[in-house]
Structure formats: structure tokens, C-alpha cells
Amino acid sequence: MNEQLHRLSKLPLREDLQGLKPYGAPQIDVPIMLNVNENTHELPPAVHEAIVSAVSEAVSGINRYPDREFTALRRSLAAYLGHGLSAENLWAANGSNEVLQQILQAFGGPGRTLMSFPPTYSMYPLLASATGTQYVAGERTSDFSLTAESAAEQVLEERPNIVILCSPNNPTGTALAPDVVEAVYEAGNATNSIVIVDEAYEEFAHTGTPSALALLPRRERLIVSRTMSKAFALAGARLGYLAAAPEISDALRLVRLPYHLSAITQATALAALAHAPSLLANVEDIKLQRDRIVEELEHMGLTPAPSDSNFVFFGGIGNPSQVWQGLLDDGVLIRDVGIPGYLRVSAGTEEETTRFLESLRKLL
């Protein structure tokens, strides 16, 4: 690694990228992998067959460029989300990371700032660096919560050009109340700030947890981003999307690469959306395992955070790195998020969840 860094230092790298490390969790081949919030359920056979058939059809015209506007996909995504949205309100890219990158390319850049509230998704500052946008870290309370009053005060003080609110938050798993989004949006009026609510894990939220989609009407600077990597079990397909006022998509057309969504990606996503009820049935099973993890961890004397996601963030660990290594030695990979006293585990299948709980119980 040192030799690699030495070679890199010889290149004329941008100053703001020097010394940075690329994002990435360990990819280790072990029996139980619960470290990157994947949907560990395999695709139902009918969905698998539908995707294979759709991709096969797409391949028959692979010598031609795909639909640059991915019109059918935007219509299908709008129908899935509901809330009175139409194709004009939808945009998609290769994973929600690229969606966020395009937003920063359009509304960020040199002389502009992006604000989020750590601990949160660690890609936000990296996306800021990649687009020459200054990153501003807001603050949460000691229990990692964020109130409307506190968030609004910080936005008023920092005057960022872009704010990202992650709900449910990664790595803590907790969802934000709508009043936090509303307060941040109002606080951003003075600087015409773009407000993004990253809802990558929204489908896993407890029943009755509101989505920021309901706040979109008459808020032209509000963006709700989603992904098909989690609930739809399409992490390998790379399809993220957003819902917003139509003019947001017009702005992103100025920075997107030509034909950025391949015909294969569009076909895969369309086939999956056509089988949404089948895929979301697995989501309900994952939620059961998540709640089971929370309950079992409490019985072990640990302190899991309330989770509206497909993972559990838990504290009470004296030596997180030692526990992480002990689990790994037992064939179970979870995530050390670098927060003292805390670890994070994805909710897997019933069998995977059992293996994790049994292994952790032995270590403790």
C-alpha cells in the first residue's frame, strides 16, 4: 500500500484529492457477509427469469445506443413511487451515488458548499471532493439524533448551497421526522439551497414512517433520492433515481454523460419494477430479521439504535475492532464504521441472522 501511495504521489493529482482514500468496505470471502447493507435474499425465480428475458431482448439491439431519456423506466419509477409523480419528476443514473454526483456537478463545484450531518453516509464528503465542492460537517446530538431546530440553525449559520439529509440515516438506521426536512428547506430559502433527502433505505422503514416524497409539491429545490440496490436486491445492476421538480432533471441533463444508462440496466430495472410486489415480500422478511436483531442485542446487554433500515447500529461494545475480528474469524463479516463503541450489521436471511447472533453471543 505504501508503494502504491508513493507511485500516486508522483502524479500531478489535484491538490484537494491528495491524501484521500477511496471509499470501500472490505470485500472478504466468508460464509456470512453482513457488512455493506446488501439484500442477501436471492431473486425470486420468476423475477430472475423476467430479468434474463428482458436483458436477452435488449441484447438483440445492443448495437444501437439506448434510449437516452430512459422514458419507459421513468414512467415505471413514477408509477412505483405514486404521490402523483409523473415521468417528468423522475431521473435515474448508475446507482444513487451517480445521482448524487450529478446533482453536485450541477449545483456544487468550486466556491460552493455541501453540508451533511455526521455520522452519516461517508460518500458525501468524497462526492464533494470529486466535484470541487467544499464539505461542511454539521453536528448531531450525543445520541446521533437531529432535531428540526438544530438542523435549521446550522443551515442558517453555514449557508450551504446543498444540504443532504440521510433518512433512514446510514450508519445509525434512524429516520428523520418530516419537520426536520421542512425546517432545513425553509432555512435554505435565503441562499436558494438544494436540499436532498437520501432515502436509500426507505422501503425498510416501519409502517407509518413518512417519506419526504409527500413534501415535494411546491418545493422546487427539494430532491428525494432512492436506489434499487437494497429493497429490489439489484446492488449489482447499479440503478439509482430521484424524484423532484422537472427542472431538476433539466439541470442534470447538462452534466450527465451521453447515453449514461445502458440498455441492459434499463431492461433489468424495468423487469424488476414489474415484479415489485414479489421483491418487496422479501423486504418484509428482512424487517422481521432486523427487529429480531434489535431484540436479541438488547437481551445481550447491548444498545441497538431504533432502525428503519435493513441494518442495525449497536453500541455497548468495549473493543469494536476485537469483536469485529472475532466475528470474522468465525466466518461472519459485519461493519466497523469507525465510531468508538459501535458496530453495524446488515439484516440477512433467518439463517444468516442466526449465525451472527450465535457468534456474537459466544464472543460476549
**End-of-domain residue from the set 221, 253, 274:** 274
Asked if residue 54 and residue 34 are part of one domain, the reply reads no
Alpha-helical (H) ranges within the chain are 2-9, 45-59, 71-81, 96-107, 123-130, 148-158, 178-187, 246-253, 263-274, 276-299, 320-329, 350-363
Span 37-63, pLDDT tens digits: 999 999 999 999 999 999 999 999 999
CATH number at residue 270: 3.40.640.10
Average pLDDT, the chain: 96
**DSSP at 209:** P
137 and 70 assigned to the same domain = yes
Task: Render pLDDT for 168-178 as a digit per residue (tens, 0 to 9).
Answer: 999 999 999 99
Q: What is the SS3 assignment for 352?
A: helix
Which one of 274, 299, 330 terminates a domain?
Answer: 274
Q: Judge if 302 and 269 occupy the same domain.
A: no
Q: CA-CA distance, 223 to 237, in Å (whole number)?
A: 23
Tell whether 15 is covered by a domain.
Answer: no
With a cut of 80, say whether residue 94 has pLDDT above it: yes
Q: What share of the chain has pLDDT > 90, as a percent? A: 91
228 and 348 share a domain? no
Q: Are residues 281 and 146 in the same domain?
A: no
Same domain, 284 and 267: no
Count Cβ neighbours within 10 Å for each residue of 140-167 and write b for 16 or more, e otherwise.
Answer: beeebebebebbbebbbebebbbbbbbb
Same domain, 320 and 341: yes
Q: Alpha carbon of 361 to those of 172, 291, 327: distances in Å? A: 22, 17, 10
- Containing domain of residue 254, as a range? 45-274
- The residue from 240, 258, 274 where one domain ends is 274
Do residues 228 and 169 share a domain?
A: yes
- Residue 28: predicted pLDDT: 86
Read off the amino acid at residue 246.
P
Domain match, 155 and 294 both? no
Same-domain check for residues 293 and 254? no
Question: Does 173 share its domain with 290?
Answer: no
Query: Same structural domain for residues 53 and 198?
Result: yes
What number is the average pLDDT over the span 91-107? 98
Mean pLDDT along residues 125-150: 96
Region 67-89 average pLDDT:
98
Residue 268 CA to residue 52 CA, distance in Å, equals: 8
Number of domains in the chain: 2
Q: Which pLDDT band, with edges at 50, 70 and 90, does 1 fall under?
A: low
Q: What is the pTM of this model?
A: 0.94
State the CATH number of the domain containing residue 289. Answer: 3.90.1150.10
Each residue of 284-329: pLDDT tens digit? 999 999 999 999 999 999 999 999 999 999 999 999 999 999 999 9
Q: Does residue 302 lie within any of the structural domains?
A: yes
C-alpha cell at 143: 445520541
Query: Which amino acid type is present at position 93?
Result: A
In a domain, 18, yes or no: no
Residue 2 is assigned to a structural domain of this protein:
no
